Amino acid sequence: MKSLVLLAASLCVLNAGYIKEALNAKDDHNKLAQIYEDACDKEKKASGCYNLAVLYSRGDGNVKKDEAKAAILYEKACDQNFSMACSNLGYVYENGKGVEKDLAKAVKFYEKACSGNEGCTELGLLYANGTGVRKDLKKAKELYEKACKAGDGIGCSNLGYLYAQGEGAEKDYAKAKTYYEMACANEAGIGCDNLGFLYVYGQGVDQNLTKATKLYEQACIYAYEKGCNNYAIMLAEGKGVKEDLKKAREIFTKSCKNGLKEACENLEILGKH
């Protein structure tokens, strides 16, 4: 069975905005689109443009996916200083979703978003990886701190990771633990998973496989597939929990179907035993 490996990651989540009329039409995406379009074009509401962009970017329900249209709508909302729209627009340019990939523009829109406490984690990742900007781990740390203070669980987790690795800050497992706990409390599965890793290897805490297993399970509940994989490993090996090969196989299978390569490999290894 593979050993546990800490893999840091981050996801950009598209969040719905707030238009009261839309609550009554939540199951009718065509009606939703019309409500959002009227709010955007007739009432000049940034939230309407943003929500319509989310529908087009996802292709929800009967609304045909159109990433180029989504990008235009995100920009309209961002022009009105709607921070979530600026953050998603940064993501659009970072990944070339409906527009030509442009890291300089991605940085610009993430910076604008971060001034409103959105997109700071994404901007921090660019600085941490030297993507579109000169690599600057101290700058990344500052951005993660801002994101974490604003309640962004992934920002807290990434901040904890820097302390755990001694990158951009002096290595400090106690601080790493604190920020991982904050991330997990904010339902960021990666934070629960990283905290579990500390307990598996006794880094800054007493080794506690039972606690680690519970944290991996929590990460899995929050749909963090690498946490699911680690939870399944603990079940398969009977570490911190009673051995349950059937359940481990089920979890590996689900994570494999969701695209996690390590889960597919572990499922194959499990089949040989």
* Separation of alpha carbons 253 and 31, rounded Å: 37
**pLDDT in the model for residue 237:** 93
Label residue 105 exposed, middle or buried (CB < 10 Å: 0-12, 13-18, 19+).
middle
pTM for the full predicted model: 0.86
Report DSSP letters for 139-166, one per residue. Answer: HHHHHHHHHHHTT-HHHHHHHHHHHHHT
What pLDDT was estimated at residue 63? Answer: 83
Q: Is the separation of the CB atoms in 197 and 212 below 8 Å?
A: yes
Q: At 244, which amino acid appears?
A: D
Count of other CB atoms within 10 angstroms of residue 273: 7
Each residue's pLDDT, cut to its tens digit, for the chain (273 residues) gives 333 233 333 323 333 333 334 434 455 667 888 899 999 999 999 999 999 999 999 987 678 999 999 999 999 999 999 999 999 999 999 999 999 999 999 999 999 999 999 999 999 999 999 999 999 999 999 999 999 999 999 999 999 999 999 999 999 999 999 999 999 999 999 999 999 999 999 999 999 999 999 999 999 999 999 999 999 999 999 999 999 999 999 999 999 999 999 999 999 998 765
Q: What pLDDT score does 127 carry?
A: 97
Count of other CB atoms within 10 angstroms of residue 131: 13
Residue 209, CA distances (Å) to 146, 230, 237 in order: 32, 12, 11
| Predicted local distance difference test score (pLDDT) of residue 28 | 61
Q: What is the pLDDT of residue 224?
A: 97
What pLDDT, on a 0 to 100 scale, did the predictor assign at position 16? 34
- The SS3 of residue 80 is coil
